[in-house]
Structure 1
Amino acid sequence: MNTRDLEYFEALTKIKNFSQVAAEFGVTQPTITMALKRLETHFGIQLIDRDQSHARITVTPAGEKLAGHVQVITAELTAAEAELARARSGKIRFGLPPIIGNYYFPTLAPALMQAGLIDQLQTVEDGSQNLLADLRGGHLDGALLGSTGPLNAPALKVQPLRRVPFTLVVSPDHPLAIKKQLSFAELAAEPFVTLAEGFVHTKAFEWFTHNAGIQPSVVYRTQDVALLKHMVQAKVGVALLAQIAVQPADHLVTIPLTDPGQPTFDIALVTSRTLQHTPATDQLAQLLLEEGEQ
């Protein structure tokens, strides 16, 4: 059995036409037919039911089961090829969500530079959910990911680094700026500016609104954290942000939220369990873990 036969079979179960599958791969139709025959001989069962009179095919129950396994096999092979290609390049492909990349990672940069690792990093910026999918697909060596509470990713290696609270953010001259703390229920009448879907903050915002039993107006959504903070400064609305995302230079006021059991913004180093270990990847992981404990 070879992997190409499996690729032909997977395409055949989706397209259900021998000639179209052959055209897609740039081979002859007998090539697809022989590949299927080899698989059926290997497994000793019919995988495709051919209706010659109507030129149609049907995937048998056995074929459906094999197709499910083939999807997993091909995904794993793709991930392995990507990981090995990065190992040959010597670069560490590393994911950073915007908030972690802009406000947490820079605190680690001096140590990374001193260790000679900065030049070996090829960073990818995206939301935590998208980066998590890239890790599972083998497109990244690792990532610093944010989550609401401990990250649950059974197929990946998760090493917690830091936990910070979410906080309400307002402009200095906003009427709420004098408050020492607030419950989220007190914000029912406040307009909010929020981060777009795909950010951990979206889940946190949903938790607070559901727990407080309110549905405040969201007047603006953005993927740009800096723009969101400018909107808060302009009093377009208030915002919910992880505490590390607000710096003194932003000239914004953060107000603790008193809601019991509220989620936290957890930062973790996440890597594939099948990661090709090198001295550089091991050194990077060790340094990030040490810095995270400080």
Structure 2
Amino acid sequence: MNLQDLKYFHELVNQKSYTKTADSFGVTQPTITAAIKRLETEFGTTFFIRDQSHKSVNVTNIGMQFDEHVKKILKEIEVAQTEINQHLSEDILFGLPPIIGDEYFPKIAGKLLKANILKHLNVQEHGSHELKQMLLDGQINIALLGTMQVANNPDLKLTVLKKFPMEIIVNKNHPLAKKKGVFFKDLENENFIDLTNDFIHSAALRQLKEANQINIKTIYNSPDVTIVKSLIEQGLGISLLTSLSIENNPNLVALPLLDENQPEFILVAAARKNYLFKTQEQKLWDILEKS
């Protein structure tokens, strides 16, 4: 068995055509046929059945099952190649969500500078959901992520650093600003300004809506937390954000939610479980764990 045969196999599962598969690799159709024959002989089974009447290919059940394993193998090879290409670089491919980058990262930047790590950081700034996928794909190797729960992940190593409450953020002159806390169900008539789906805040908002069985009016979605806070400062609406995001902002007020089982913003350091840190990356990870 060779890697190229597996690539041919996976593409044939997707295309269900020997001709289209051959064209996508720039090879002849007999090349694809021979590769599939080698795999079927090696495993002693049939992965594909030709439908001569429709000139198409049907994938057997065992063929579909085998493809689940092939996809994982090809992904691991892709990530391994990316890691090999990165190995000689001193850069640390580091993921940082905007809120964490603005409000939390500056608190540890001094330690990173002292450890001679700061200059090696190649920062990729995206929402936590996208950064998690970038970790799995090998595009970054370490990240700070926000999550609502830390479940056992077979592919990622997660270390909890801090926990912050999710709170209702309002303008300091908003009628709600004088309250000590609010129940989410009492906000049904408010105008909400939400972050986009790449942020866990949006998932937390959906969770609260479902738990309280109410509809809310979202007047704007933004991928930029700075814009969200600016619109709240102008009195255009309210939002659900972590308390971390509005520290040292005198124009905004954070109201605790009084609901039971309310979501929280959990800050974690994340890396692939099977990734071996370079020296500088290990120093970074140690600082993150102790911060």
Q: TM-score range by the shorter chain?
A: over 0.9
SS of alignment partner, residue 132 of structure 2: helix
Q: Is the 8 A contact 1:84 1:276 kept in 2?
A: no
Report the Cα offset of residue 51 of structure 1: 4.4
CA 1:83 to 1:186, structure 2 compared with 1: closer, same or farther past 3 Å?
A: same
| Contact kept in structure 2, 1:86 and 1:92, CA below 8 Å | no
Tell me the amino acid that sits aligned with residue 283 of structure 2.
Q
C-alpha displacement of 1:75: 1.2
Query: How far off its partner does 1:38 sit?
Result: 1.7
Distance 2:49 2:186 in 1: 64
The one-letter amino acid of 2:280's match is: A
The match for 1:270 is 270
Percent identity between the two aligned chains: 36
* Structure 1 residue 265 displacement after superposition: 0.6
Q: What residue number does 1:18 align with?
A: 18
Q: How big is the shift at 1:142?
A: 1.6
In structure 2, runs of 5+ residues without a counterpart are none
After superposition, residues 26-45 of structure 1 pair within 5 angstroms as: 26-45=26-45
The one-character-per-residue Cα deviations of 1:142-174 (angstroms, maximum 9, x if unpaired) are 211101133553321111000011112111211
- Structure 2 CA distance for aligned equivalents of residues 261 and 52 of structure 1: 58
Residue 99 of structure 2: aligned partner: 99
| Partner residue in 1 for 2:248 | 248
| Deviation digits for residues 264-289 of structure 1 (CA, Å, limit 9, x no counterpart) | 11000111011122111111110011
Change (3 A) 1:13 1:262: same
User: Does the 8 Å CA contact 2:94/2:140 hold for their aligned counterparts?
Assistant: yes
Pair 39,234 (structure 1): closer, same or farther in 2 beyond 3 Å: same
| Structure 1, unaligned runs of 5 or more | none
Kindly provide the CA deviation profile for residues 168-193 of structure 1, in whole angstroms up to 9, marking residues without a partner as x: 21112112222222222332222111
Q: How does 1:98-117 map to 2 (within 5 A)?
A: 98-117=98-117
Deviations 1:8-29 (CA, angstroms, capped at 9, x unpaired): 1111122122222122111222
What letter corresponds to residue 87 of structure 1 in structure 2? H
The 5 Å alignment of 1:88-237 reads 88-237=88-237
RMSD: 1.8
1:28 to 1:105, Cα distance in 2 relative to 1, 3 A:
same
Does residue 285 of structure 1 match 2:261? no
Q: 1:262 and 1:52 mapped to 2: Cα distance?
A: 58
1:83·1:276 contact (CA, 8 Å) conserved in 2? no
CA distance in 2, matches of 1:212, 1:19: 54
State yes or no: 1:82 paired with 2:82: yes
In structure 2, the residue matched to 1:65 is 65
Which amino acid is 1:98 matched to?
P
Q: For the residues of structure 1 that align with 2:62 and 2:260, how far apart are their CA atoms?
A: 52
Q: CA 1:62–1:188 in structure 2 vs 1: closer, same or farther (change >3 Å)?
A: closer
CA-to-aligned-CA distance 1:34-60 (integer Å, 9 cap, x gap): 212221221122322234565333223
TM-score by length of 1: 0.92
Which stretch has the larger CA shift, 208-217 or 112-121? 208-217
After superposition, the Cα gap between the structure-2 partners of 1:212 and 1:46, relative to the gap in structure 1 and judged at 3 Å, is: closer
For 2:52 and 2:248, the matched residues in 1 are separated by: 73
Scaled by the length of structure 2, the TM-score of the pair is 0.93
Amino acid at match of 2:131: L
Q: How many residues align?
A: 291
Residues in 2 aligned to 1:288 and 1:186: alpha-carbon distance in whole angstroms? 39
Deviation track 1:43-85 (CA, whole Å, cap 9, x = no partner) reads: 1223222345653332233322222211111111112212222
- Counterpart of 1:33, as a letter, is T
For the structure 1 residues 196 and 152, does the alpha-carbon distance in structure 2 shift closer, same or farther, using more than 3 Å as the test? Answer: farther
Are the structure 2 counterparts of residues 208 and 81 from structure 1 closer, same or farther at C-alpha, using a change threshold of 3 Å? same
CA gap of 1:236–1:60, structure 2 versus 1, over 3 A, is: same
